[in-house]
Chains A and B, each alone.
Chain A
Amino acid sequence: MHTPDIENEVRSFVITNFLFGQPTDLQPEDSLLGKGLIDSTGVLELVDFLQEHFAIKVEDEEVIPDNLDSVRNIATYVARKISCVV
């Protein structure tokens, strides 16, 4: 799976789940935390989604903003995980 495809799917999840499906000017590098788009349970929802949708295992120590704080970071992280699995 190409990183841009992953990015699209992650973006779509973020919009549906955290932005009430509203079309927004969400940019790939926008910080989800910085913009307050994700609440305290949001990160747990995000992790569940990544594990189910991309069939990866997100380790506790990987749940850090560096991996998960923007659509682009998430896509890069997921692509890395998938390539490890393959």
Chain B
Amino acid sequence: MCGISGILKLDSSRVSRDQLGKMIASLRHRGPDASGMHLAGTVGLAHARLSIIDLQGGAQPMCTSDGGLWITFNGEIFNYIELREELLSKGHRFATRSDTEVILNAYREYGEECVHHFNGQWAFAICDTKERKLFLSRDRFGVRPLFYTQTADSFLFASEIKALLTCPEVPAEIDLQSLDQIFTFWVTLPPRTAFKNIFQLPPGCSLTIEDGDVRVRPYWSVSYANTGELHDADEQPLAEELLHLLEDATRIRLRSDVPVGAYLSGGIDSTVTTALVRRIASDRLRSFSITFEDAEFDEQSYQDEASAFLGTQHSNVSCSSNDIARVFPEVIWHTEQPIIRTAPAPMFLLSKLVRENGFKVVLTGEGADEVLGGYDIFKEAKIRRFWGRNLKSRWRPLLLRRLYPYMENIQRQPAAYLQHFFRVTEQDLASPFFSHLPRWELTAKLKMLFSADVREVTDNYDGVSEIEQALPSAYRSWSTFSQAEYLEAKYLLPGYILSSQGDRMAMAHSVEGRYPFLDYRVVEFAGKLSPNLKMKVLDQKHLLKRAVDGLVPESIVRRPKQPYRAPDGKCFFGSAAVDYAEELLSPDAVRQNGIFDAPAVTALVSKFRGGRANGAKDNMAMVAVLSTQLLVHQFINQRIEGFESCTHQTLKMKSAALS
């Protein structure tokens, strides 16, 4: 795994070696093992390497023997061995054993269509010198990041935004429309990012730039069978097929010239991936997990049980509220966008543990909830829709209490109120976003915190209709369950789970995550399954449980689902209240950055200080405000000094923020 960057000059001038060097230096955390640059007139490609496959031969940027194609590549093509054979049989020759060279030859053979042949997680750029073309591509789900921007005379791309911001011509400005999106959906809608005029290449898309024209083209998107065409046959053969696919997805994800470890959260998904690794690899597997001081979030007993059952050598790192507050500025340095929950922070600590134990690669269970029907939001929608069929029913809404057994507030909720919070109206039932309306509406309340200036811009913006316009034409022919799955897989998965909580936290410590559940063969298979197989009545991931029967401890299969969560807003007001939070939440700092209304933030802060902030909304609000303030502070107010020196800097409070 690595970091990549590049510059294409649009005015026939030469690429500055110094500028390209600064860009790649800012990504050293992604690739500390080596770095390389290729400069040829108007084009420059750079690479920071984390050596995983072909440790000797895989140096980048790499070129074809005739020098016609140059590549800088971050990620893995897991089926590179099979592809290499295929390309050899077609007459291509290879000088290395790397997957990088396989991409080059696949591009030579198939052109831009080569991406259809790849099974992996990638972000790469190929400079086609003969065609005078730059070709960028990002994997189907957006596991690996890829950002780009354009200035008056250059097109620039990189694995992270901070590399683009090393270029003085690239302005660092918060995009208020993106902020509105994050304060509704938790993510920006691709291609937007939190920064104005800086874009992400959307998952499943390729980009070409020829003669200064930038063209983005989707090559794949998650899709579902129409309601009448779903697999609804016998469970057993489908369960067997799923297991077979997962086994192969895991097998090819173990391809590595360095040892591979596993995250073990105590839930079914990572226990399954770990169990599959155990079946394939004979070595004793190393597994890693986070434990929480706060029992409400802790899953250690299940982690220990899974580890004992699977015979892994297990290490864990304990995470307290103080730990979260301590690392939070660095977490935001890596997420490069505001976040609504602190959950990425423990993942940051976990990747540090993995790296300290000498591992660069881990397999995790990410993606199972999106692909195989695991999320509570799917269950919630199912119950609300069931209730909606008989809106007068008094007992149907009481099922809602079964939704969130781990949330005390919901359990204490009087029935009359419970019905209102999860209210179902005729209008809601007709909405294409029925499943997501409660989440989006709750999150959108955070926009009350915006300053008058920001609201002037955002009040006229309607993110929901933007999503509606972007829906694929087949959307309305899918089952309502698939519609909910689509919204998760299309937006939250790449924009938050795989980025803020995934790649960015892992790569902060040079660790690469690999996700067997996100093998596109598994996803395409799951897209044809009847929702009843994914969630049988209210049994989440039903077919997966059936498929792995006997492979994982029964107690883990049958345990109530506990989504991964971490202590939120209170972290910043505990026994070790943090100076940076106090300062960044002060009326002066809030006014200076101009995003939020200072009295509103003060009211929120006093609610936390007084111990009166217990609700989901207040916690999300605090994390959202503080992360936004940290983002502005680190990327805009402290821009210059922070970027010259490649790593995250200790916050220099009172020097830059409050002048």
Interfacial residues, chain A to chain B (CB-CB below 8 A) = 16-17, 19-22, 33, 36-37, 39-45, 60, 63-65
Contacts A41-B409, A43-B417, A64-B416 given; does A20 touch B612 at CB 8 Å? no
A37-B421 Cα distance, complex, nearest whole Å: 11
- Contacting residues, chain A, for B616 (C-beta < 8 A): 39-41
Does B449 lie at the interface of the complex (its beta carbon under 8 Å from any beta carbon of A)? Answer: yes
Question: Given A36-B442, A64-B414: A20 and B421 within 8 A (CB)?
Answer: no
With a cutoff of 8 Å between Cβ atoms, the chain B residues found around residue A64 in the complex are 414, 416
> Residue-by-residue, is B598-622 near A (CB-CB < 8 Å gives 1, otherwise 0)?
0111111001000010111100010
Q: Which of B397-416 contact A (CB under 8 A)?
A: 409-410, 412-414, 416
Q: How large is the interface on B (under 10, 10 to 19, 20 to 34, 35 or more residues)?
A: 20 to 34
- Bound-complex Cα distance A61 to B603 (A): 31
Distance between B651 CB and nearest chain A CB, rounded to angstroms: 25
A37 to B444, CA, bound (A): 11
The answer to the question of B597 belonging to the interface, with a C-beta cut-off of 8 Å to chain A, is yes
Candidates B413, B420, B597, B604; contact of A65 at CB < 8 Å: B420
A contact residues around B442 at 8 Å (CB): 36, 39
Residues of B within 8 A of A20 (CB): 448-449, 597, 600-601, 603-604, 621
**Cβ A65 vs Cβ B417 within 8 A:** yes
Residue in B448, B597, B615 whose beta carbon sits within 8 Å of that of A45 in the complex: B615
Quote the shortest CB–CB distance from B17 to chain A (angstroms): 50
B614 touches A45 (CB 8 A): yes
Who on chain B is nearest to A61 by CB?
Answer: B414
**In the bound complex, CA of A82 to CA of B604 (Å):** 30
Q: How far is the CB of A69 from chain B (nearest CB, A)?
A: 8
By DSSP majority rule, is chain A's interface helix, strand, loop, or mixed? loop
**Are the CB atoms of B420 and A33 closer together than 8 Å?**
yes
In the complex with contacts A33-B420, A65-B420, A21-B617 CB distance below 8 A: no
Question: B615's closest neighbor in chain A, by CB?
Answer: A41
Q: Mark B574-617, 1 if CB is under 8 A from A, else 0.
A: 00000000000000000000000101111110010000101111
A63 adjacent to B600 (CB under 8 Å): no
CA separation between A76 and B27, bound complex, in Å?
Answer: 62
Q: Is the CB of B409 within 8 A of A44?
A: yes
Please, what's the 1-or-0 string for B360-401, where 1 marks a CB less than 8 Å from any CB in chain A?
A: 000000000000000000000000000000000000000000
If A21-B602, A45-B615 touch, whether A39 touches B421 (CB-CB below 8 Å) is yes
Cα A41 to Cα B603 in complex, Å, equals 17
- The answer to whether B93 has its CB under 8 Å from any CB of chain A is no
CB distance from B184 to the nearest CB of A (A): 13
A15 to nearest B CB, angstroms?
A: 9
- CB neighbours of A21 from chain B (8 A): 599-600, 602-603
- A22 and B448 in contact (CB under 8 A), knowing A39-B421, A43-B414, A44-B412? yes
Contact mask for chain B residues 12-30; partner A; CB cutoff 8 A; 1 contact, 0 none: 0000000000000000000
In contact, A40 and B600 (Cβ under 8 angstroms):
no
B536 at interface by CB-CB < 8 Å: no
Residues of B231-262 at the interface with A, using a CB-CB cut-off of 8 Å, are none
Q: A36-B442, A39-B617 are in contact. Are A19 and B448 (CB under 8 A)?
A: yes
**Apart from A33-B420, A33-B423: 5 A-B pairs, beta carbons within 8 A:** A22-B597, A44-B409, A44-B413, A63-B416, A65-B420
**Minimum CB–CB distance for B622 against chain A, Å:** 11
CA distance in complex: A22, B449 (Å): 8
For residue B445, CB closer than 8 A to chain A, the reply is: yes
The residue in chain A whose Cβ has the minimal distance to the Cβ of B410 is: A40
Contacts of A45 in B (CB 8 A): 612, 614-615
A17 to B, closest residue via Cβ: B607
Assembly CA distance A60 to B426 (angstroms):
30
Nearest to B619 among chain A residues (CB) is A41
* In the complex, chain B residues whose CB is within 8 Å of the CB of A16: 603, 607
Closest to B441 in A: A36
User: Is B614's CB under 8 angstroms from A41's CB?
Assistant: yes
A17 and B612 contacting across the interface, CB-CB below 8 Å: yes
Closest to A16 in B: B603
Query: Would you call A65 and B449 a contact (CB within 8 A)?
Result: no
The residue of chain A having its C-beta at the shortest distance from the C-beta of B412 within the complex is A44
Query: Nearest-CB distance from B361 to chain A (Å)?
Result: 40
A63 CA / B413 CA spacing, docked (Å): 9
B414 adjacent to A63 (CB under 8 Å): yes
In the complex, A65 Cα to B442 Cα: how many Å? 19
Minimal Cβ-Cβ distance residue in A for B604: A20
Q: Determine the distance from Cα of A9 to Cα of B415 in the docked complex, in whole angstroms.
A: 27
Residues of A within 8 A of B448 (CB): 19-20, 22
Q: Which residue of B lies closest to A43 (CB)?
A: B417
> Which residues of the partner chain A approach B417 to less than 8 Å between Cβ atoms?
33, 40, 43, 63, 65
Q: Name the residue of chain B whose CB is nearest to the CB of A19.
A: B448
CB-defined contacts of B420 to chain A, threshold 8 Å: 33, 65
* A19→B449 CA distance, assembly (Å): 9
What are the 6 closest A-B residue pairs judged by CB atoms, nearest first? A21-B603, A41-B615, A20-B600, A63-B414, A33-B420, A39-B617
Rounded to whole angstroms, the CA-CA distance of A33 and B409 in the bound complex is 16
Q: With a 10 A CB-CB cut-off, give which of B421, B423, B616 has the most chain A CB atoms.
A: B421
Residues of A within 8 A of B603 (CB): 16, 20-21
B416 to chain A, nearest CB (A): 5
Assembly CA distance A10 to B412 (angstroms): 23
| B423 contacts across to A, CB distance below 8 A | 33
The complex places the Cα of A64 from the Cα of B607 at a distance, in Å, of 25
Q: How far is the CB of B617 from chain A (nearest CB, A)?
A: 4
Contact bitstring B613-641, A, C-beta under 8 A = 1, else 0: 01111000100000000000000000000
Complex: how many Å from CA A37 to CA B615?
12
What separation, in Å, do the CA atoms of A25 and B607 have in the docked complex?
22
Chain A residues contacting B410 (CB-CB under 8 Å) are: 40
17 A-B pairs with CB atoms under 8 Å apart are: A20-B449, A20-B600, A20-B601, A20-B604, A21-B599, A21-B600, A21-B602, A22-B600, A36-B441, A36-B442, A39-B442, A40-B417, A40-B615, A41-B614, A43-B413, A45-B612, A60-B414
List residues of chain B with CB within 8 A of the CB of A19: 448
Residues of B within 8 A of A60 (CB): 414
CB distance from A25 to the nearest CB of B (A): 13
Contact status of A36 and B416, CB under 8 A, knowing A20-B603, A21-B599 = no
The docked-state distance in angstroms from the alpha carbon of A29 to that of B396 is 29
Q: Is the CB of B421 within 8 A of A40?
A: yes
Residues of A within 8 A of B414 (CB): 43, 60, 63-64
From B409, B417, B614, B616, residue with most partner A Cβ within 10 Å: B417
Bound-state Cα–Cα, A43 to B414, Å: 9
For A40, list chain B residues within 8 Å (CB).
409-410, 413, 417, 421, 615-616
